[in-house]
Structure 1
Amino acid sequence: MMKIKLLLLFLIIGSVFFHAQTHNIEKNIPERRTYEELEKEFYGSRIEEGNSKSIADYYLKKAKSEKNIIHIAEGYVMLHFEEDLPNALKYLDSLQYITRNSKENTYPARIYLLKGNLYFRNDNLQSALNNYILGLKYAKEKGNKRQIAMAHISIAYLNNYIGKHAETAKVLRHYAYDADYMNKDEKNSLKLNLADAYIEINKMDSAYALIQEGLQDSKKNKDNYRYHQNLGLLGYYNLHSKNYQKAIDGLLECEKYFFTNNNGSKRNHNYTLLYLGKSYAGLQEKEKAVGFFRKIDSLVLKTNYIYPELREVYTYLIDYYKENDDKEKQLYYVDRFFKVDKVLDTQFRYISRELPRRYDTPELQQEKEDITNELTKRKSLFYIVLSLLLISHLLFINVYFKYKKSEKNYKKIAQDLIQSVNENRVGKNRDQETGKEIQSETLPVENTENSEERTPRTISEDIAQTILKELDIFESKDQFLNKGITLGSLAKKIKTNSKYLSEIINTYKGKNFATYLNDLRIDYAISRLANDKKFRSYKIPFIAEELGYNNEQAFTLAFKKRTGTPLSIYLKEIENMSSN
């Protein structure tokens, strides 16, 4: 995530120092204060932005006045944290000189491990690694298991920094859970970094559990710095999970904390901005993403802090200004990419294989040279886009006319159905006036073969006629509109068995029972919808239920299958013909 700072080895090598509560540091430190109290004050004030330099100065002065070699050595350690690289190295050289004959099993391994951390903080990974290896060598010679652990952990952090996340996770998991000589603060830091490694190798559930544990513990102990480290890691987790807005919410809070009174390290600053930019990029809010990436560039110019993900920052900025046809800024960020890439290539040669496929150095150099030809290419692109738009337009027209043709056919079918219903109604009225028997209004589906030829061999003529009469009653009284009708229930109603009923329907009606029932209902619907204005004013689900269907979809599908036109067009044509 934030390639979280290495555990400061001074916390666990030699004396174990705990986070101190906030203290009001006096300008004149009382001489009665013990070395232990001063150490606790120093390391606590460094975390909480106290007056650590004055404490370290007093500590060394006190140790020298008492000629206490052990504490003079610790004074050099304290002071090296307060200086830039050259002066810090001088203090560590003094530490090496004064401990050259030390019988303690912490030396000389401690010196090399501290130098490793110092070089790491100053982004010289090659020197950091060399010193960690020397520290490990001497720690093994002295059998100091804590220093061996810290050397392994430090190298694991380097592996994480260069992308070997699985190896990092393996080491951190071991020392976080299987090393009983690690204290609670050390294990908390290990778990924080382990969660980061888990995210990188897509063990998201494990990462989330560790982050939540860290948030709750730091909140409980009112450790604001560690809380915001975990909150930032949660932001990275959400970014990795593509929950961009959640990531932004947490990271904005981290930005406010880390950039207020310089609470955070260079890593905290850079990676908070990096993941905010990437989160906005994920939301396609490019202007906001570019804003954060430009802030990163300003930080890099100010601090000269270089890290591999800067390649992503500059390639995004290059793409953005290329899209916006801002040649000046595009060329500026191409040049910035080259400068950063040169540093990375020098300091991190073993990660050069991680160069982005789209923006390696030769490719970018070629792109820089080709910018002058871009306007000509854009002209060609314009014609290509225009051609694509024309093709798309033609395709749309083709689809539109096909739709119109289908719609015309559907309307014709609907109009024929309505006309048929109207003719049946006129015929029915005429028959009622003359006293003739009224004929069915349903669509013609039955055969007109001789009844003797249609009589099933397994059923007697008398039984067949009895069943047919019952079916006539079933149809004439609209009993087919009842919900839940089945072959079995109808057979029971007309006092026959399912087999006989099915055979009669298949033979005399020319269809199976389900089709027979559907056709009766749809034919009824065709007629009633055309004749009954109130009925067709109802919503479709209600009409479907009235016709015995369980849902609207079953009704509309059955209607189109039976008639060949959608229900919506049939209803529309009824209204059109009624208004004429």
Structure 2
Amino acid sequence: MKKKLFFILFFGFFSLVLSQESYSDYYKLRLKYEDFPENDTKAFPFIKPYIDMAKKEKNYQKLVQGYKDAVYFSSLNENKLKYADSMIWAANKTNDDDLKIVSHIDKGVIYYYHYKKFQLALNEYLEAYKYSKNTKNEYLKYQNLYHIGVVKSYLGYYEDASQLFTKCLVYYREKAKEITKLHPNEIYNNNKGYFNSLHQLIICYRNLGKDGEADEAIQTGLSEVGDNPEYALEKGYFILAKGISEYKKNQFQEALKDFNQSLPVIKESRDFARLSVSYFYIGKSFSGLKKTRQSIVYFKKIDSIFQKHQFILPELRENYELLIDYSKKEKNQELQLYYTSQLLRADSIMSKDFIYLSPKIHKDYDTNTLLEEKNKLQKINYLGTVIIIVLIIWGIGLVILLTRRHKKSNEIQKKYIMVEKKFMASHKKEEANEIKEIVPQIEEKKLTITENKVEELLKKLKTFEDRKGFTQKGLTIGKLAAQLGTNSNYLSQVINEYKKANFNKYLSELRINYITNLLFEDKKYLKYSIETLAKECGIASRQNFSDLFYEINGIRPTDFIKKRKEELEDNGET
């Protein structure tokens, strides 16, 4: 019997729910789709009645399971994310912390596996970690440890990550051996956990230069995974790791055979990060065989993946250096400039991830872990005093390291408050202007146009502002002048004198103030990407939008959105 239904992405948790379902109507419904493969939307005619029945009966435990199944069988990533949010909502309706842990882990895995958004994934893992402190379910604890280890590995903390994966290995290996005590699905899930932990440990060994340990782990993985089709992806990962090891030993032909063997299952899994790794080492192997043009084909494939997903692993940074060198040799300045720009983008993305994730790992995970250990030591009172002192010293050092981040956070908060005050003031001003119309006084203005013409242009500009005409893309003073039935010179004079700004600044302030108001007034805009917000107000470039937002509001749009969301959460408005 296939067990993939119970294993979402890396490894899942719901055998407890299965055992409780017995042969209920819920169980009978799930029997109709449990053998469907992952991402098969044909399951939904059966999943929908399951969810509807759970809603009608207000059975939130079953509703969590229904949404979990919907995540698994959805073919689109955005739908997986939507059902994961519903899963969290249903879990919060229960008093079961284990269900809350599962729902946050599953959402984190979607961010990690399908989007490679480590920041968002880590937030979910840490949320699950809060609930896992008091759980008696060891499986969930180690599942969450595994995912935190993945983030640590991405950040380059390979030693720390390898310790977490080693703990997971020991746990899953021992659990999988309890054949007589566990349901077949539990055995399956523990085996999955074991193989994935072993694969992640191999990655850590490779980056730590522990090639011998890596080779030994690869052989263990291939030996234990065998030819079981249920673990085809895990076998593909081990074969990929074997190919990388052979490449490092200059065994290029052998390496290429292994890479080509692992490619189909990795492609089918939609794991674009590991697919990029495969392409990179295929390209490097061809390069080792002096087949430069064939290697460049695969290096370009990595660039295509980066363009699509805006994600690249740190170990693949060299890919762009190789493409730049190749462009130089070919004397193709256009390509050289393009790949240089791509490398800068890759560095920017990776540096932003590191800045965000590194302090959060230390503050929200490592510090909490240390404090928990401290409490345990106090309870048993065994060498407690000495170890607590060490922890306090370590904590002081950590506080010093995080002071800069804290100061920056305070500065952002102050700037956000200033924008909020400006927003409130602008609304009061608009209300006042509705009551009393300000008649322009032009006697003292150094203008070359008549009073009537000025008054006419000001009214047209007011209509232009009210109708949000400034959201037009590519708007210039010439185009606006034509729309208002005047010339650029007259329009420029009126804007300079009465709007106290040149045309570009006037237009920028209208656009940024407009989008700022939307972010304050309508929560849906807080979910939009920066690119979407830029287009909404007529600005073509994400960077230009971000720079103008900062220039006018004194705060970056990403920081502003984060603070606005926090404010709404504090007020219970989310």
How high is the TM-score relative to the length of structure 1? 0.51
Choose which of 127, 130, 150 in structure 2 pairs with 1:134: 127
Q: The residue matched to 1:34 in structure 2 has which SS?
A: helix
Determine the structure 2 residue equivalent to 1:175: 168
Q: Per-residue deviation at 1:207?
A: 2.2
Amino acid at match of 2:31: E
Q: Per-residue deviation at 1:162?
A: 2.1
Choose which of 77, 86, 92 in structure 2 pairs with 1:94: 86
Task: Tell me the distance in 2 between the aligned counterparts of 1:108 and 1:297.
Answer: 38
Determine the structure 1 residue equivalent to 2:31: 37
Cα 1:177–1:50 change in 2 (3 A) is: farther
Cα 1:105–1:9 change in 2 (3 A) is: farther
Cα 1:53–1:134 change in 2 (3 A) is: same
Cα 1:117–1:16 change in 2 (3 A) is: farther
Cα 1:234–1:141 change in 2 (3 A) is: same
Q: Per-residue deviation at 1:326?
A: 1.9
State whether structure 2 residue 239 is matched by structure 1 residue 220.
no
Task: Tell me the distance in 1 between the aligned counterparts of 2:52 and 2:246.
Answer: 49
State whether structure 2 residue 310 is matched by structure 1 residue 304.
yes
Q: Which runs of 5+ in 2 are unaligned?
A: 1-6, 19-24, 177-189, 359-574
> 1:310–1:340: 8 Å Cα contact kept in structure 2?
no
Task: Give the % identical residues.
Answer: 24
Matches within 5 A, 1:489-504: none
Task: Tell me the distance in 2 between the aligned counterparts of 1:324 and 1:10.
Answer: 43
Q: Per-residue deviation at 1:305?
A: 3.6
Task: Tell me the distance in 2 between the aligned counterparts of 1:8 and 1:205.
Answer: 32
Count of residues in correspondence between the two structures:
330
Cα 1:9–1:219 change in 2 (3 A) is: closer
State whether structure 2 residue 164 is matched by structure 1 residue 158.
no
Determine the structure 1 residue equivalent to 2:193: 186
Determine the structure 1 residue equivalent to 2:378: none
Q: The residue matched to 2:338 in structure 1 has which SS?
A: helix
Q: The residue matched to 1:340 in structure 2 has which SS?
A: helix
Matches within 5 A, 1:148-547: 148-178=141-171, 180-181=174-175, 183-222=190-229, 223-259=231-267, 262-349=268-355
Task: Tell me the distance in 1 between the aligned counterparts of 2:156 and 2:233.
Answer: 26
Cα 1:144–1:344 change in 2 (3 A) is: same
Q: Per-residue deviation at 1:172?
A: 1.1
Per-residue CA distance 1:61-104 (angstroms, 9 max, x = gap): 45446654322111112223426565444433332332324233
Task: Tell me the distance in 2 between the aligned counterparts of 1:314 and 1:16.
Answer: 48
Task: Tell me the distance in 2 between the aligned counterparts of 1:350 and 1:281.
Answer: 36
Cα 1:275–1:61 change in 2 (3 A) is: farther
Choose which of 95, 110, 118 in structure 2 pairs with 1:118: 110
Determine the structure 1 residue equivalent to 2:476: none
Determine the structure 1 residue equivalent to 2:69: 78
> 1:11–1:17: 8 Å Cα contact kept in structure 2?
no
Per-residue CA distance 1:130-154 (angstroms, 9 max, x = gap): 2211211111033432222122111
> 1:41–1:55: 8 Å Cα contact kept in structure 2?
no
Larger helix share, 1 or 2: 2
Per-residue CA distance 1:30-62 (angstroms, 9 max, x = gap): x896256357435xx118x68455554454345
Determine the structure 2 residue equivalent to 1:539: none
Q: Per-residue deviation at 1:242?
A: 3.2
Farther-moved stretch of structure 1 (168-177 vs 239-248): 239-248
Task: Tell me the distance in 1 between the aligned counterparts of 2:162 and 2:14.
Answer: 26
> 1:159–1:168: 8 Å Cα contact kept in structure 2?
yes
Cα 1:336–1:88 change in 2 (3 A) is: same
Task: Tell me the distance in 2 between the aligned counterparts of 1:351 and 1:293.
Answer: 28
Cα 1:187–1:205 change in 2 (3 A) is: same
Q: Per-residue deviation at 1:155?
A: 0.8
> 1:69–1:98: 8 Å Cα contact kept in structure 2?
yes
Task: Tell me the distance in 2 between the aligned counterparts of 1:100 and 1:299.
Answer: 37
> 1:136–1:147: 8 Å Cα contact kept in structure 2?
no
Q: The residue matched to 2:124 in structure 1 has which SS?
A: helix
Cα 1:279–1:185 change in 2 (3 A) is: same
Greater Cα radius of gyration, structure 1 or 2: 1
Task: Tell me the distance in 1 between the aligned counterparts of 2:82 and 2:116.
Answer: 18
Farther-moved stretch of structure 1 (181-190 vs 144-153): 181-190
> 1:17–1:40: 8 Å Cα contact kept in structure 2?
no
Q: Per-residue deviation at 1:339?
A: 2.6
Cα 1:112–1:233 change in 2 (3 A) is: same
Q: Per-residue deviation at 1:317?
A: 0.2
Task: Tell me the distance in 1 between the aligned counterparts of 2:41 and 2:215.
Answer: 33
> 1:9–1:150: 8 Å Cα contact kept in structure 2?
no
Amino acid at match of 1:286: T
> 2:10–2:196: 8 Å Cα contact kept in structure 1?
no
Amino acid at match of 1:168: A
Amino acid at match of 2:326: Y
Task: Tell me the distance in 2 between the aligned counterparts of 1:221 and 1:17.
Answer: 26
Per-residue CA distance 1:233-264 (angstroms, 9 max, x = gap): 211222233322221111022234544xx344
Q: Per-residue deviation at 1:343?
A: 2.5
Task: Tell me the distance in 2 between the aligned counterparts of 1:147 and 1:256.
Answer: 31
Determine the structure 1 residue equivalent to 2:51: 60
How high is the TM-score relative to the length of structure 2? 0.51
Q: The residue matched to 2:38 in structure 1 has which SS?
A: helix
> 1:110–1:135: 8 Å Cα contact kept in structure 2?
yes
Determine the structure 2 residue equivalent to 1:104: 96
Task: Tell me the distance in 2 between the aligned counterparts of 1:133 and 1:288.
Answer: 43
Matches within 5 A, 1:562-577: none
